[in-house]
Structure 1
Amino acid sequence: MDNYDYYDLELFFSNDSNDTGYPETVVNGEIVLCKKTDVVQFGTAFLPALYCAIFLVSLVGNGLVLCIIYKYEKLRTVTNIFLLNLVISDLIFASSLPFWAVYHKSEWIFGRGLCKLVGSCYSISFNSSILFLTLMTFDRYLTVVHAITLAQRRRAAYAFVSSIVIWVFSILASINDIVLHDVMDGGEGLLCEMTGYHQKFLTKLELLGYYRQFYLFFLVPLVIVLYCYTHITFRIMFTRMRKKCRGVKLIFVIVFTFFICWTPYNIVILLKAIKMSFGDQNDCSNTLDYALYVMRNFAYLYCCISPVFYMFLEKKFQNHFLKLLSKRIPCLKINVAT
């Protein structure tokens, strides 16, 4: 993710101005500062309330899924292990939103440690989410198309090892956010941004992050998912595997909705990368900034939507949910028994 865009402070740089806008410890060269006052005010007006709402809904939804997995499902299947990690990833993302809500409303007041930690939560949770969704799809592909079945212990070990690899890879992919995020004085308040190196170096890292996110964490998983579900669909159509079809439906809807939510955002990311690579560096147009605001926050809603699928598209989760409610609402016990 572009950290300057995330905090509403996008900078384009050249060598024909003496106005740096930041202390010498942040930028060692001369820059042209594109003022994004309108964009910042646009974000300040609605982002804090939106982030708080997403946090609460995500906390309740993912917390409920986590409770059901713990009480009823345990970690008996590979899908449940991957699903548990996906819920944890969503909760990591949601935990960062209250901090950003306060930040957009005023300034960064939480210190250097939380600046580094919270600044890395977004990219870690995004990377791990897309990888876990891709892995769930690939595992379903092996089970349905190639009928690969392993011993229970071996499958569990494979799921745990795969999960650890994904988390390690996601953290390594976010190392720039962990190392370079720091608190700095922006003149009108404290900022939590990528800083500490020459601005040209930070700009190159920013551009590299754009392309890495689009190709490695969006385009490649999209191709894998499309390939897997194309073969799964043909397999089901020709063999009428109805039982496996029910299991495929849940993952398919989750993955499909994920890409519906994230595709517009990644297209904007690619356009910004192209603009930085080949466009006029002194062009301070706000069009892509507004588009990024809208598409990015539309993508954030996925963390609220995904638990709904677990509750209402999978029969066993519906039954577990009713069991939980029946403990609080006695009249539901009859329906659960039925």
Structure 2
Amino acid sequence: MKMEPTTYDYDNNTDSNELKSPVSPYRFDGVNYLGAQLSILFYFMFFFSVVGNGLVLVIIHRFEKLTTVTNILLLNLVVSSLIFMSSLPFMGVYSQLRYWIFGRTMCKIVGTVYYLGFYSSVLFLTLLTFDRHLGVVYPMWSLTLRSQSYAAVSCAVVWLVSSLACIRPMMLHDTFIYKVTDTTYCQENPVYENDEFDVKLLRNFGFYLQLILFLIFPHVVIIYCYVRIAITVMSSKINVKFKTVRLIFVIVLLFFICCTPYNIAMLMHDEATTLEETEKTGYALEVTRVMAYTYFCISPIFYTFVGEKFQNHFRQLLVKHFRG
């Protein structure tokens, strides 16, 4: 997961953020232009996320209690989504200007918020899916397991793992200046070197961590859980089984349509060895990035309002404030 425009024409920097050796620039102007145009959507995503997730928080506060595992997980998913979305306005400005104007401290803060929000959102979506699987497939056995302490420990583990996963990008993520144009960038410097640790080893570790923990693992868990849920519902005597299975299919399809292309494009972009490959995967990365961000924007709202109980709470809220 990257938060920078797709350009690789930068030099290495010293601790004063000045370049110490020249690198021949190669600008992917077409990719950068596409990214700048698409980043306009970031502002709408941020606004919609604040309004939608704020509504979820209001409903949980007014009508629900944080005594159920589902509500606790939903609350944490909303928080992680808001954390992630709070970085989008800065990224939008960065993509459109093509240089960083907010300073080094904000670069570190925005980068941390971005990665923490993304990683935790992926894991909370996976955890919410697994919990729903327990409630449907093992309803009696899971009654003793799905307690408040179980939810609290699960959420704490997700936040801990997400925070630890942020260490690698944050060690390499910083502002630096491209001396030829005197332009300041905020991202992971592709030619960064450090005498205190092995940068190449750290990048490889981050690549495989992203591949296994935030791509393969969530996909496997989500597929398995929803297949088991669908089989259980179809084999039961539930009258609304068709509607339930259709909803499950929509949830899974939406997840794969929005998230899988971006992860594939990101991995291909990281492994590109030529300028031509980097440019081609750059176009795919910019388009699929918007799709993935949209999913993380709407996922807490979507997971909340698929339930009839939350729909009724929303109707009550509307009736109270808009009686007409």
TM-score bin, normalised by smaller chain = 0.7 to 0.9
Distance 1:269 1:46, change over 3 A: closer
SS at match of 1:185: strand
Deviates more, 1:31-40 or 1:20-29: 20-29
What is the letter of the counterpart of residue 117 of structure 2? S
Is 1:315 the counterpart of 2:312? The answer is no
Cα distance, 1:93 vs structure 2: 1.0
Q: Which residue of 2 aligns with 1:295?
A: 288
CA distance in 1, matches of 2:316, 2:243: 21
Is 1:198 the counterpart of 2:193? The answer is yes
CA distance in 1, matches of 2:271, 2:102: 34
**TM-score w.r.t. structure 2 length?**
0.84
Q: Which residue of 2 aligns with 1:91?
A: 82
What is the letter of the counterpart of residue 39 of structure 1? V
Is 1:189 the counterpart of 2:189? The answer is no
Aligned residues: 315
CA deviation map 1:275-315 (0-9, x unaligned): 3xxx44x5565111011000111111113432552565221
Cα distance, 1:205 vs structure 2: 4.1
CA distance in 1, matches of 2:250, 2:222: 12
Q: Are the aligned partners of 1:261 and 1:299 in contact in 2 as well (CA < 8 Å)?
A: yes
Structure 2 unaligned spans of 5+: none
Distance 1:151 1:284, change over 3 A: closer
Identical-pair percentage: 43
Cα distance, 1:37 vs structure 2: 2.6
Cα distance, 1:73 vs structure 2: 1.2
Q: Are the aligned partners of 2:53 and 2:301 in contact in 1 as well (CA < 8 Å)?
A: no
Matches within 5 A, 1:36-115: 36-47=28-39, 49-106=40-97, 107-115=99-107
**In the alignment, which of 164, 170, 177 is matched to residue 178 of structure 1?**
170
What is the letter of the counterpart of residue 45 of structure 2? I
Q: Are the aligned partners of 1:207 and 1:273 in contact in 2 as well (CA < 8 Å)?
A: no
Q: Are the aligned partners of 1:2 and 1:209 in contact in 2 as well (CA < 8 Å)?
A: no
CA distance in 2, matches of 1:242, 1:136: 24
Distance 1:329 1:103, change over 3 A: same
Matches within 5 A, 1:1-338: 1-3=1-3, 6-10=4-8, 21=11, 23=13, 31-47=23-39, 49-106=40-97, 107-147=99-139, 148-151=141-144, 155-186=147-178, 187-195=181-189, 197-198=192-193, 202=199, 205-241=202-238, 253-275=250-272, 279-280=273-274, 283=276, 285-310=278-303, 312-331=305-324
Structure 1 unaligned spans of 5+: 12-19, 332-338
Q: Are the aligned partners of 1:140 and 1:248 in contact in 2 as well (CA < 8 Å)?
A: no
CA distance in 2, matches of 1:291, 1:228: 29
Q: Are the aligned partners of 1:115 and 1:183 in contact in 2 as well (CA < 8 Å)?
A: yes
CA distance in 2, matches of 1:284, 1:170: 30
Q: Are the aligned partners of 1:90 and 1:303 in contact in 2 as well (CA < 8 Å)?
A: yes
CA distance in 1, matches of 2:80, 2:245: 22
Q: Are the aligned partners of 2:11 and 2:22 in contact in 1 as well (CA < 8 Å)?
A: no
Cα distance, 1:22 vs structure 2: 5.2
CA RMSD after TM alignment: 3.0
Cα distance, 1:249 vs structure 2: 7.5
Q: Which residue of 2 aligns with 1:15?
A: none
CA distance in 2, matches of 1:121, 1:128: 11
